Amino acid sequence: MDAFVLDLLEERVLTSRDFVELSNGVCRVRAPLTHDLALTLPKWRQLMAPVVAHLAQAFRGSVGREHRVAVAPRTASSHHATVAHTSAQSPLKLTPRKSSQPQPYASKAWGTPRPEALRIVPIPCAACGEPVVKRRRWHCDACIPGMKVAQANKAVVVARKALAIQAAAGNDPRRDPEMNCKRAAAISEGHRRNREWTRENNAQSRDEAWFKREVLPKLDGFSLKEIAAATGLSLVACSRIRSGARLAHPRHWDALLELAER
């Protein structure tokens, strides 16, 4: 049991969300940690079976023995002292937590970001059947890029259908002159920055293989908003870069590498 607890503390980061404090001061474990611990019950049943059998034999052998225990006579003073002791409240109950007391740890904004923990019992990948050890995932690391590309393609199909419905209703955003001017200005500005960076950094030691090996696999742990804030690109472009469907321009590699090494 001690070895299991030490391994659990090394593989999993426990936060305040894994526990809850009741009004009487009792602390309890919360889900999903309780679900992961419940999956280990067959293991403990197998390990505890010989110990329980040994204790059962030891108790069975002492059933016929006589054990005399000297019991002190009860007096009136000791009886009143026992009643007073049992009726007294626990120190935790004397100062219950008030509803008006601020609880900053109960808000999500106050808590620190929770790192992705590992599963105690791996599950099979939904695509290939390989074990998945990370929580909140149903695909292994090898199938995640293809899964994200498939999801992006489905989103593109849905967006095109919605755009066709808007165009049929006479509300096509592609024909808005102001929106077209803003889009053209943003595209031209991006191309201009790419050309300037290419002229200033002709001797680039890193190549596409380096980016796919050192940076791209680490972007899976960051959201699209974090990638967009680091690069200044749109969410659609960040989604394509993270899924591997599009290669980021080399001028964004330093920002993405800094984000991946946090």
pLDDT tens digits, residue range 67-91? Answer: 444 444 555 455 444 444 444 444 4
User: Which 3 state secondary structure label does DSSP give 234?
Assistant: coil
Among 96, 123, 142, where does a domain finish?
142
How much of the chain exceeds pLDDT 90, in percent? 1
The answer to the question of residue 177 being in a domain is: yes
Into how many domains does the chain fold? 2
pLDDT at 161: 92
Q: Both 184 and 129 in a single domain?
A: no
H, E, C per residue of 72-135: CCCCHHHHHHHHHHHHCCCHHHHCCCCCCCCCHHHCCCCCCCCCCCEEEEEEECCCCCCEEEEC
184 & 251 share domain? yes
| Calculated CA dihedral for residues 259, 191, 178, 180, nearest 10 degrees | -100
Give the three-state DSSP class for 28.
Answer: strand
Question: In the chain, what's the furthest Cα-to-Cα distance?
Answer: 100
Domain of 138, in residue numbers: 1-50+113-142
234: Cβ contacts below 8 Å, ≥ 6 apart = 228
**Range with the largest mean pLDDT of 11-15, 26-30, 83-87, 99-103:** 26-30
Single-letter amino acid code for the residue at 55: L
Q: What is the pLDDT of residues 136-177, one digit of tens each?
A: 788 888 898 888 888 888 888 898 899 899 888 888 877 788
Closest of 137, 121, 141 to residue 33, by C-alpha: 121
Domain end point (choices 142, 159, 194): 142
